[in-house]
Structure 1
């Protein structure tokens, strides 16, 4: 792979910065760090991007996207993260959108893509179940055909942001007489449909972004089936094979490293600043070197995915292993570097509570949250054990 810098990339970076400086309102910049922005901010940000022609930054032009290169996508993500803009709806941008573009009927595309890109609809994902996480093919949620509807019964768990979502894309079992992978279908469901119950799960960061979702005789039009009955497993493989490069969360890794450098350059220790301590400077350099390697690997995997290279699957597993481990170690390094101030766990404490100023207070309030959230990074999206199994099987075949 050629890693020579694109001479036009710096001009593109300046274009993004000018857009963020001149076109984005002040109240949509410098927002608090979070895993995902509030619903109203996401929708407002999407409308603004859509009006600027950047509503689908990760899609090809043929599908209504920007047609940006991998490097341009990374620059866009990095600059938006640095500016503190709201997050986008990653479920539709990086997961469902490509699936609909590849498998949906024209009527389905017109119904769902327009609403998402216009900032009118948010999505969530219904894959994992209490007994089907890493072994996703063991899912038990049933969808039984009844005329021009399916009747859906079952439970999904770890349904991120289901309490904010308008629709859910989910895997259901439509046939129990065939091997388990062959009996799965891909269904779109309106979250306002009677029979759906969403219950919150409070995670270790004391936030509500996870849920368990119950389906009790939920009637879903057959027209909401993507592809054919039984095609859900192949569609899911397509979806997962197109998201490997995003599992690294490179913009957040870059942000974590910028914050760690800021901490090191600000905090006083016995003989000067923290950055002047040889042991810490060496640790920082090693983390930075690993981050640069991850950045190159993200570009490599993303290019392979765009070329539909099947080996991107195993390299994607390697990338997830390395990147999620690095997410955990950098956020741990942030908390350790802050010392006692790193123990300030929750950014959303009671606003009326008095607080004494301390160094880097604005930064410290959210650092422990990120460390807690990143403990799950080696679990969601396929555990590290599953990723190692994928790599081992591929190496055995070679």
Structure 2
């Protein structure tokens, strides 16, 4: 009886339940494992590039070494795009200064002092504690006379705030009149004050250069002072509640589908047991016995479909239920007035 032989090889209800449970567990665990694997992959590649760069630098092949080391530094930017745990952040903060210092040291050995100062400065400005940071500051002090430039800023308004960003990304802050030494290269200047239009400039400084600015901060015009109505975005609790409701319904339907699958499997196994019990007592071609077997097959297939549907509904419902709040616009106007001192301060933060 060929059909009975195939049934004897079929998966039992308990086994299928276990398989479905494992599948759902894998759906939740695989993203976490992939994330950890990506972090380890990037970290291993950074270590490999760093080692190769150091070997090339030891042979005085500085240009080739810089290609490897800068590629390693660029991988830290990709690491920042991952959602890192606290332990992973500590690992990154421990390794980044080493790579930045190695790049600066290689530029220094190649006598490209301005580029060396850029990476020494980036290393020195990292918010962490590492031996490489102290070494970077020492080298930076040594080559500073060769790479710095001077900026003198004055304004028609005494005490106007000044922010300067040098090529390494470091931001200097002061008040006009102000004289400051910065790293030569592309430089950004911002002068601002309350009730005045900000002044911005971008320029390139040569080593040893002296650049003077006298800035006239113009008052904000009357048109700018008038409030401008804006539409303020606010979270839409109604939309979010609807999604959560749909997610809850899907999860409930998934539970029902799983229970239905369990019931169908129970009926199927009962019918299979009846077939096995009677197959030695009556002919395998008996119509009644064949109908019982066919019914068991249909119930088994229905149970499989129910379990798969249950998994899909539960996973989809959980995803909808966990969605963050959506935002929608309402008709609440806000006023856009003259940029205040605090707003200009936030502009300097973006300037960083």
TM-score range normalised by the length of the shorter chain: under 0.3
Give me the TM-score of the superposition, normalised by structure 2. 0.26
Structure with bigger RCO (C-alpha 8 Å, 6+ apart): 2
Q: TM-score, normalised by structure 1?
A: 0.24
Higher Rg: 2
> Higher helix share goes to which structure?
2
